[in-house]
Amino acid sequence: MREIQAAVVRNAGGPFAIETLQLDDPRDDE
């Protein structure tokens, strides 16, 4: 897992909100 910052849309029409997420590790074909 890698901690990242991402622009998340939670509701129709926005806004984009910056959230901290955990990005999964790559699999063999990723």
Partner 1 sequence: MIVRIVATGMCHSDIVVVKQEFPLPLPLVLGHEGAGIVAQVGAGVTHVAPGDPVVLSFDSCAHCPTCADAHAAYCGDFMRLNFAGTRLDGTPIFGGATDVKGGFFYQSSFATFALAHARNVVKVRADAPLDLLGPLGCGVQTGAGAVLNVLKPKPGSSFCLFGAGPVGLSGLMAAKLHGCDPIIAVDKVASRLELARTFGATITIDAGSEDVAARLADLGGVDLAFEASGVPAVAQLAIQSLRTLGTCALVGVYPAGKPIALDLSGLAPGATIRQIVEGDGRGERLFSPLHAFVERSPLGGLNILRIMGFEGEDHYLPRLARWAWFAVAGGSGVPTREILAEMDAVSKEMGDAFAPIIAARRAMPTDDFVSRLVTAGEGDDKLTDDEVIGNLILTLLAGHDTTLNTMVLSVEALSRNPEGRAWMRANPDELVKAVMELSRHIAMSTEQARIVAEDFEWCGQQLKQGQIVHLMTATANRDPRVFADPERLDFTRDQSENVTFGPGIHHCIGHLFAKMQLEEFFTEFLLRYDSFDVLDDLKFAPGLSFRGVSSLNVRLHRAG
12-29: string of b/e by CB count within 10 Å (b at 16+)?
A: eeeeeeeeeeeeeeeeee
CB of 7 to partner 1, least distance (A): 4
For 7, residues 6+ apart whose C-beta sits below 8 A from its C-beta are 16, 17, 18
CB of 11 to partner 1, least distance (A): 7
Q: Which of residues 1-30 bind partner 1 (CB under 8 A)?
A: 1-2, 4-14, 16, 19, 21-30
Q: How many residues bind partner 1 (CB under 8 A)?
A: 25
Point out which residues bind partner 1 (CB under 8 A): 1-2, 4-14, 16, 19, 21-30
